[in-house]
């Protein structure tokens, strides 16, 4: 996480909290140290609550698979816990934007992530190593422009199910809106390729 964001959060803590600053200095700062992705942050006079919206960062238990991650997230109560008087901040990694939002807006952000997770991330056997935010943004971009990215990902899933592959790993490519991928077999790695965006659509290259 960018130090400028941490510094701004520290300023908010100084202005808001009257006790239990350790919530931020020990726990939130540690969670954000190696984190890249969107988050919701709730702060009151004696507490903070940090919700990391990239499910890969929800803790060791959650990293085993996406289903575990989102079940763990939902155990928090169906939506982020709110105490009367809390101020709520939302950080969007794509635009590096950090700002205060309303309780209803925060609920919309949270439920939107859950919806995206159900429709995108829980469809194994594709394992992503790119951030959830990047994958979500590319699928939304494709949907908004009549693209075929969902169909391409479905093709990769069928590819795994009809071969001896264990899974396909999907990662961010250097080209705009594109991905790299690699076959993973029980005895090692197989073909590597890309899901490349060009002229409004995606295609698989090996």
Task: Tell me the mean pLDDT in the region 94-111.
Answer: 86
Edge to edge, what strands does the sheet with 188-198 contain? Answer: 126-128, 167-172, 179-185, 188-198, 201-205
Q: Tokens 């199910």 label which residue?
A: 161
Task: Give the model's confidence band at 115: pLDDT under 50 very low, under 70 low, under 90 confident, else very high.
Answer: low
The predicted-structure confidence for 52-79, as pLDDT tens digits, reads as follows: 876 544 433 333 444 544 554 555 444 5
Are residues 191 and 101 part of one domain?
no
Give the domain extent around 165. Answer: 124-205
Task: Give the model's confidence band at 120: pLDDT under 50 very low, under 70 low, under 90 confident, else very high.
Answer: low
Task: Tell me the mean pLDDT in the region 92-121.
Answer: 78
The predicted-structure confidence for 153-165, as pLDDT tens digits, reads as follows: 888 888 876 776 7
The total domain count for the chain is 2
Is the pLDDT confidence value at 144 over 90? no
8-state DSSP, 25:
I
Are residues 36 and 104 part of one domain?
yes
Domain's final residue, options 75, 104, 120: 120
Are residues 190 and 129 part of one domain?
yes
Is the pLDDT confidence value at 114 over 80? no
Are residues 113 and 40 part of one domain?
yes
Are residues 71 and 98 part of one domain?
yes
Are residues 88 and 24 part of one domain?
yes
Are residues 14 and 100 part of one domain?
yes
Is the pLDDT confidence value at 82 over 80? no
Reported as type and span, the H/E element at residue 166 is: none
CA separation for the pair 137, 189 (Å, rounded): 28
Are residues 128 and 66 part of one domain?
no
Are residues 165 and 88 part of one domain?
no
């Amino acid at each position: 996480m960018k130090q400028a964001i941490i510094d701004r959060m520290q300023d908010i803590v100084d202005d808001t909290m009257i006790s239990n600053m350790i919530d931020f200095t020990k726990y939130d700062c540690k969670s954000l140290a190696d984190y890249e992705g969107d988050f919701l942050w709730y702060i009151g006079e004696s507490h903070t609550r940090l919700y990391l919206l990239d499910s890969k960062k929800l803790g060791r238990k959650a990293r085993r698979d996406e289903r575990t991650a989102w079940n763990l997230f939902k155990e928090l109560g169906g939506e982020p816990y709110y105490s009367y008087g809390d101020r709520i901040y939302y950080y969007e990694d794509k635009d590096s934007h950090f700002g205060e939002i309303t309780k209803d807006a925060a609920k919309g952000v949270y439920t939107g992530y859950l919806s995206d997770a159900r429709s995108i991330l829980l469809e194994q056997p594709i394992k992503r190593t790119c951030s959830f935010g990047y994958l979500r943004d590319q699928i939304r971009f494709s949907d908004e422009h009549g693209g075929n990215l969902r169909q391409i990902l479905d093709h990769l899933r069928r590819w795994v199910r009809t071969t001896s592959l264990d899974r396909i790993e999907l990662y961010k490519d250097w080209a705009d809106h594109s991905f790299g991928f690699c076959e993973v077999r029980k005895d090692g790695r197989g073909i590597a390729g890309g899901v490349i965006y060009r002229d409004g659509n995606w295609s698989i290259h090996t």
